[in-house]
Amino acid sequence: MGVIGLKQLLQKRYKYLEHMTAAMLHSFGNMTTNFVMLVWGKSGNGKSNLIMQLVKIFLRMGNVLYVSLEEGHESTIQQTALKHLNDDSPYKILFADNEENYESLTARLKKKKSPRFVIVDSLQYLDMDYEGYKKWKQIFKNKGFVFISHAEGKEPKGQTAKSIRYDAPIKVHVQGFVAFVTSRFGGNNPFLIWEGDKPNKGARGYWGKKLKSILGDRPPKEEVINVTKPIENEKTEIPNLVES
C-alpha cells in the first residue's frame, strides 16, 4: 500500500505503548510500539538508568532483546538489571553479548516470535552503517529500536549515529541525569532520570538551582496514564547546557 488517500490515512489504527507514566508522556509523547530512538550522552550521566526505566515499560508489551555489545555479560550489566528489573513482568528480557554482530542480529530478529523491542548498547560497537540501519527499518517495521550512542561534546559520536539522529523520531540527549527529548510523538519536555538521594548526587548535584527551571511544571513521576491517540506537541525549551 504505497499510496493512500486522506480517508484511509485517518482510518488507520496504531498500537501505542501502554503503562507509560504521566512524566514519560510529558517528555516522550504517546509513542507507538514501532519506533526508533537514539539516546546519547557522556558516561555516568544516566543513560543506563533511563534505558532500564523504558525497559520496564516495554516489558508490559512484549519481549525485549538487550544487545550488550560494550559490556557483554559483565557484572556491571548484572548490577544494573538487579537495581531496576524484576521477574513480575508478563514478558521477558534477553541479554545478548558482544559475540553478536549485524549479520547475526539480523538473522535472530527475522525468527518467528523474535523480541518486539531491541536495545543496542552501544551503537559504536555494532558493525552497522546507515544503509544497514535503513535496512533494519524496512525489514522490521513492527519493532521498537533504541540505539545508545557515545557522545562527542553535545553530539552523537560518529557518522552513523549522526545520520540516525536526523532520521529517528525520538532523539534523547542525556546530561546530568536529565533527558532532553525531541519527539515526533509529542511531549518534548525534559525528563528527570534521577533526582539524587543526596544533595551532591544525581540531577540535584549536577544542576543545582537550575534544575527547577529546567524541568518546569511536570506531572507526578509514577502516575500511569494510558491514552490511545497522539497527545498535543509542545514547544521544547532547551537550556544552555553546561558541560561537566
Assigned architecture for domain 32-178: 3-Layer(aba) Sandwich (3.40)
What is the per-residue pLDDT for 209? 94
For residue 55, is pLDDT > 80? yes
Give the pLDDT of residue 235: 42
Mean pLDDT of 69-93: 84
pTM of the predicted model as reported, rounded to 2 decimal places: 0.88
Quote the pLDDT of residue 86: 82
Residue 103 C-alpha from the chain's centroid: 23
Q: What is the pLDDT of residue 221?
A: 60
Q: Are 179 and 45 in contact (CB under 8 A)?
A: no
Q: Name the residue ranges covered by the structural domains of the chain.
A: 32-178
Q: What is the pLDDT of residue 228?
A: 52
Give tens-digit pLDDT for 89-118: 889 999 999 999 999 999 999 999 999 999
227 or 119: which carries more pLDDT confidence?
Answer: 119
Other Cβ atoms within 10 Å of 182 Cβ, number? 16
Label residue 241 by pLDDT band (50, 70, 90): very low
Residue type at 50 in one-letter notation = L
Mean pLDDT of 226-235: 49
Q: What is the pLDDT of residues 158-169, one digit of tens each?
A: 999 999 999 999
What SS3 class is residue 100? Answer: coil
pLDDT at 222: 61
Contact 31, 20 (CB under 8 A): yes
> Mean pLDDT score of the chain, rounded to an integer?
90
For the chain, give the longest Cα–Cα distance.
Answer: 56
Instruction: For residues 76-91, give the mean pLDDT.
Output: 83
For residues 219-239, average pLDDT = 52
Average pLDDT over residues 68-91: 84
Write the CB contacts of 213 (distance below 8 Å, at least 6 apart in sequence). 239
Q: Is the model's pLDDT at 244 over the cut of 60?
A: no
Place of cell 534523547: 172
With beta carbons less than 8 A apart as the criterion, state whether 136 and 10 touch: no
pLDDT for 218 beyond 90 = no
Q: CA geometry: angle at 223 spanning 218 and 227, to 5°?
A: 95
- 181 within 8 A of 143, measured Cβ to Cβ: no
> What is the structure's pLDDT at 120?
98
pLDDT (average), residues 27-46:
97
Using pLDDT thresholds of 50, 70 and 90, give the confidence band for residue 232: very low
What count of Cα atoms within 13 Å lies in the side-chain half-sphere of residue 137? 16
